[in-house]
């Protein structure tokens, strides 16, 4: 008998376990896979070559979580990229995105002097909006239908908004309601400048830059920081698995038990209360509370008996929108890509940047429409990261590993085709490699081995329904008090004693640790009566 049984040992389950154990509760984490970490995992995918399997770059991880769990003492080291982004364009042109205002303006001025002048105002406005979001991510959203505490929470947030200038309120409203393309249009004129910023708006979203709601996704990718530097993205030495291994050690040190290879088959409900879980093996693990690190759609569809929830509410949970439309590859490389636009195979700052192939908004729109019609595009959006440039532990000397994160593949294929079909998967993987090779001619021939994950693979390996990297789209109807479902944004699910502690809860996806930490706070409140 435990105080809390956690279904899933993803980074949020581990974070929740650590906080709950530190509060003196007895906790067991039950993970279906042989290694904890969920979508934040490192593995050897080709002899001698290791890389992050799914998530691959860090910024959103909350500094409070790093501090509270002493992740540094448990071996976590995060380093900044030498430059933020590099966007190869055709005919040898590229948009290099360094750090520092003057350097950024100089790079933008190569495309538009007007945009370079405009950029500091845009950057400052986005920073202020990101600061508001950063505050909100740490709070339990006011719950619709809740009590006086929720009214107070709502008033507190209202006061925070009213503290902003009217101009900032306008920007924030734009970000919460518009498409990324509509948001960026009044700011910038150059198509490449707009494309680089719009890219953040479609990451993990099966949506075009012109789709309403993508401006919020853009903002969501800006609230993070690395080593105290806001908006910067970095690399966890050893890959994303280094984060979750440090979290697992922190949870165990605080007293949590982590069990691996134990898939949960169902939540056990007695007298309308969650009292534990049944494992696939038939073993029952009893607990005073159950916290689900799995996504809400999977939780209700697969692990909860329909009769235990009011039917319309059950349907709401099982119809949460999922399907981020992403495809993930790792490649082992004999040498670094030699870009036509920046020749040389010796490590350069651009090799350590997020290399984005999405040169215009029109390119991204086309990739989305192609994927809607045909399942995937012959000109997909690819972000490539080469972490071995920053981290020698990942590949043999002078050789490299690259993560390829591809946007806009349909979560399910139609017309008799399926991601189950290896040939379909490998055909698209070849298209991805050709897409990079167009900009770096030595890329295809430098590949020594590859790992390919379709949306279906992401679902089978990690339980990400429809391959959704966020456990449910970050669309306006699934954010804040509406995440996962209106009336259940306070991490408490419609069965007493059942909580949600993963990315399907506020503030959503990304390696943040925040749903886990926020949920743990609510569970402690209920089990220990702490206010
Ligand atoms: C391809 C890809 C790229 C991404 N890139 C980035 C990135 O670069 N940076 C970033 O910040 N975020 C990124 N993300 C998003 C981020 O990785 C996720 O939002 C986050 O890791 C989710 O963490 P979680 O703990 O909420 O859930 P998960 O990591 O999904 O953990 C859930 C856990 O539950 C387990 N589980 C499932 N079913 C059962 C069961 N029946 N019984 C027991 N256990 C079960 C799973 O095995 C898993 O370990 C990416 C995600 C993907 C998929």
Q: What is the mean pLDDT of residues 92-120?
A: 97
Ligand 1 site, residue 21, Cβ cutoff 6 A: no
Residue 480 has pLDDT above 70, yes or no: yes
In angstroms, the CA 22 to CA 247 distance is 13
How far apart, in whole angstroms, are the C-alpha atoms of residue 238 and residue 241? 7
DSSP 184-195: HTTT---HHHHH
pLDDT at 193: 98
**Distance between Cα 82 and ligand 1 center (Å):** 27
In short, whether 61's Cβ falls inside 6 Å of ligand 1 is no
Question: Is 426 a domain residue?
Answer: no
Reported as a pLDDT band with limits 50, 70 and 90, residue 161 is confident
Q: State if residue 524 touches ligand 1 by the CB under 6 angstroms criterion.
A: no
CATH value at residue 307? 3.50.50.60
Model confidence, pTM: 0.97
Give the model's pLDDT for residue 224: 94
- Residue at 327 is within a domain: no
Q: How many domains does the chain have?
A: 1
d(CA 216, CA 426): 33
Distance from residue 10's CA to the centre of ligand 1 (Å): 6
- Token representation of residue 212: 């309403």
Please tell me the distance between residue 173's alpha carbon and the centre of ligand 1 in angstroms: 30
Q: CA 199, 204, 210, 215 torsion: positive or negative? A: negative
Give the position of tokens 């969501």.
220
Distance of CA 314 from the midpoint of ligand 1 (Å): 23
Nearest residue (by CA) to ligand 1, atom 32, is 10
234: left (phi over 0), alpha (psi -120 to 50) or beta: beta
* Predicted pLDDT of residue 319: 98
Rg (CA), the chain: 22
What does the pLDDT look like over 416-428, one tens digit per residue?
999 999 999 999 9
- Kindly give the distance from the C-alpha atom of residue 43 to the centroid of ligand 1, in angstroms, as a whole number: 15
* Long-range contacts of 523-526, Cβ-Cβ distance < 8 Å, separation of 24 or more: 523/4, 523/16, 523/20, 523/25, 523/289, 523/291, 523/491, 523/499, 524/19, 524/20, 524/23, 524/25, 526/289, 526/492
For ligand 1, what atom is nearest to the CA of residue 12? 25
In a domain, 378, yes or no: no
Residue 68 has pLDDT above 80, yes or no: yes
d(CA 298, CA 465): 7
CA-to-CA distance for 118 and 104, rounded, in angstroms? 12
Closest residue CA from atom 31 of ligand 1: 10
The protein residue with its alpha carbon nearest to ligand 1, atom 4, reads 55
Whether 464 lines ligand 1, by a CB cut-off of 6 Å, is yes
Q: What is the pLDDT of residue 154?
A: 87
Range of the domain at 49: 2-79+238-320+472-528
Angle subtended by helix axes 166-177 and 113-137, to nearest 10: 80
Read off the pLDDT of residues 226-277 as tens digits, 9 standing for 90 and up.
Answer: 999 998 999 999 999 999 999 999 999 999 999 999 999 999 999 999 999 9
Please give the pLDDT value at position 145. 84
In a domain, 28, yes or no: yes
Quick check: is 178 in a domain?
Answer: no
CB of 234 shorter than 6 A to ligand 1: no
Whether 461 is in a domain gets the answer no
The answer to the question of residue 520 being in a domain is: yes
Question: Does 196 contact ligand 1 (Cβ within 6 A)?
Answer: no
pLDDT at 531 over 70: no
Q: Average pLDDT for residues 166-184, to the nearest whole number?
A: 96
Domain presence at residue 34: yes
């Amino acid at each position: 008998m435990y105080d809390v049984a956690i279904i899933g040992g993803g980074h949020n389950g581990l974070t929740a376990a650590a906080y709950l154990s530190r509060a003196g509760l007895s906790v067991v984490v039950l993970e279906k896979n042989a290694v904890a970490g969920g979508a934040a995992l490192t593995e050897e995918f080709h002899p001698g070559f290791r890389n992050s399997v799914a998530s691959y770059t860090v910024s959103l991880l909350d500094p409070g979580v790093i501090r509270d769990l002493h992740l540094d003492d448990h071996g976590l080291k995060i380093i900044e990229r030498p430059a933020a982004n590099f966007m190869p364009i055709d005919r040898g042109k590229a948009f290099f995105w360094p750090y520092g205002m003057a350097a950024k303006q100089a790079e933008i001025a190569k495309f538009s002097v007007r945009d370079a002048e405009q950029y500091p105002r845009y950057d400052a406005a986005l920073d202020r909006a990101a600061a508001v979001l950063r505050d909100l991510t740490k709070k339990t959203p006011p719950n619709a239908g809740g009590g006086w505490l929720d009214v107070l929470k709502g008033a507190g947030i209202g006061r925070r908004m009213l503290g902003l200038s009217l101009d900032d309120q306008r920007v924030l409203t734009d970000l919460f309601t518009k498409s990324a393309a509509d948001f960026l249009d009044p700011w910038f004129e150059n198509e490449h400048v707009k494309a680089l910023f719009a890219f953040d708006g479609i990451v993990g979203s099966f949506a075009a830059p012109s789709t309403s709601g993508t401006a919020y996704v853009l903002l969501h990718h800006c609230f993070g920081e690395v080593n105290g530097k806001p908006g910067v993205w970095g690399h966890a030495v050893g890959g994303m698995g280094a984060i979750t291994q440090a979290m697992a050690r922190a949870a165990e040190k605080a007293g949590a038990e982590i069990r691996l290879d134990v898939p949960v088959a169902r939540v056990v409900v007695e007298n309308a209360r969650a009292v534990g879980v049944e494992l696939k093996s038939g073993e029952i693990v009893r607990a005073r509370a159950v916290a689900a690190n799995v996504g809400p759609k999977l939780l209700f569809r697969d692990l909860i008996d329909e009769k235990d929830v009011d039917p319309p509410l059950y349907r709401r949970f099982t119809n949460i929108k999922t399907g981020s439309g992403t495809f993930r590859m790792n490649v082992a490389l004999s040498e670094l890509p030699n870009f036509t636009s920046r020749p040389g195979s010796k490590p350069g700052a651009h090799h350590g940047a997020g290399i984005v192939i999405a040169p215009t908004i029109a390119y991204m729109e086309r990739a989305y429409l192609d994927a809607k019609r045909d399942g995937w595009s012959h000109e997909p959006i690819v972000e490539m990261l080469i972490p071995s440039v920053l981290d020698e532990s990942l590949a043999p000397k002078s050789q490299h590993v690259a993560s390829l994160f591809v946007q806009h593949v349909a979560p399910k294929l139609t017309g008799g085709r399926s991601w189950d079909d290896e040939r379909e998967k490998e055909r698209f993987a070849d298209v991805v490699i050709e897409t990079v090779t167009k900009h770096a001619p030595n890329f295809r021939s430098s590949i020594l081995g590859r790992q390919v994950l379709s949306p279906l693979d992401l679902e089978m390996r990690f339980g990400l329904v429809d391959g959704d990297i966020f456990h449910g789209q970050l669309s306006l109807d699934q954010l804040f008090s509406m995440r996962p479902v209106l009336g259940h944004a306070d991490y408490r699910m419609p069965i007493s004693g059942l909580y949600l502690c993963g990315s399907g809860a506020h503030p959503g996806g990304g390696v943040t640790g925040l749903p886990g930490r926020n949920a743990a706070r609510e569970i402690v409140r209920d089990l220990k009566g702490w206010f």
